[in-house]
């Protein structure tokens, strides 16, 4: 049986070319932490999560620092019990990436996101954002629901896929 284009793209991402990916990550490290990109790197994954190549859709690449996000220790004026800094990270990195993209692009809503790589210091994600005020989005039967005012700020309420997973609502 003949296989489609997305099948081959998906298989290529299962075993990516390490040399090419490493060169890309070197460039990504030098760029801004949240950067708008022209088109998604993983087209199969983006399309599976609802991306369409039309007006109103924006893809942003986000760089998140890995490791335990410990707060700095307060210098003074605390009770002993409030000096503690040993807190676990309450959000997963993907949710942090989505929230940072939403803060940068205030007029857009986060639809979904996916991982595009990680190195020893950073994790890299592509976040799919949608402009809910565009008529192309409002008239779209698949993503028109995001134009409803009750879906405003959904990433900050843990309503994206990564947010639900972080809250234990998805495997």
CATH code of the domain made up of 33-166: 3.40.1120.10
pLDDT in tens, 117-129: 999 999 999 999 9
What are the residue boundaries of the structural domains of the chain, listed by start?
33-166
pLDDT in tens, 131-147: 999 999 999 999 999 99
Cα Rg for the chain, rounded, in angstroms? Answer: 18
* Rounded Cα–Cα distance for residues 118 and 163 (Å): 20
Q: Is the pLDDT of residue 87 over 70?
A: no
Q: Which residues pair with 96 in a beta bridge?
A: none
Among 7-11, 64-68, 81-85, 125-129, which range has the highest average pLDDT?
125-129
With CA atoms as reference, report the closest residue to 41 among 63, 14, 61: 61
Supply the mean pLDDT for the chain. Answer: 90
Band of residue 86 on the pLDDT scale cut at 50, 70, 90: low
* Rounded Cα–Cα distance for residues 148 and 74 (Å): 42
pLDDT of residue 49: 94
What is the arithmetic mean of pLDDT over 91-116?
Answer: 95
| Residue 73 token pair | 């220790």
pLDDT of residue 144: 93
Residues 6+ apart with CB under 8 A from 113: 49, 62, 94, 97, 98, 101, 125, 126, 127, 128, 160, 161, 162
Cβ-contact 35, 61 below 8 angstroms: yes
Residues 6+ apart with CB under 8 A from 90: 166
- Look at 35-44, 73-82, 108-117, 160-169 and tell me which has the smallest mean pLDDT: 73-82
71 or 65: which carries more pLDDT confidence? 65
């Amino acid at each position: 049986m003949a296989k489609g284009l997305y099948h081959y793209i998906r298989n290529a991402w299962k075993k990516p070319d390490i040399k090419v990916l490493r060169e890309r990550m070197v460039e990504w490290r030098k760029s801004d932490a949240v950067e708008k990109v022209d088109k998604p790197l993983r087209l199969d994954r983006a399309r599976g999560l609802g991306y369409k190549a039309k007006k109103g859709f924006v893809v942003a690449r986000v760089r998140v620092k890995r490791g335990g996000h410990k707060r700095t220790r307060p210098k003074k004026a605390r009770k002993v019990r409030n000096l503690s800094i040993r807190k676990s990270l309450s959000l997963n990195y993907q949710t942090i990436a989505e929230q940072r993209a939403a803060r940068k692009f205030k007029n857009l809503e986060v639809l979904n996101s996916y991982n595009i790589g990680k190195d020893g210091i950073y994790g890299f994600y592509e976040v799919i954002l949608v402009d809910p005020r565009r008529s192309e989005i409002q008239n779209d039967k698949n993503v028109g629901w995001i134009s409803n005012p009750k879906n405003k700020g959904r990433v900050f309420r843990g309503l994206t896929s990564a947010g639900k997973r972080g809250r234990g609502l998805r495997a």
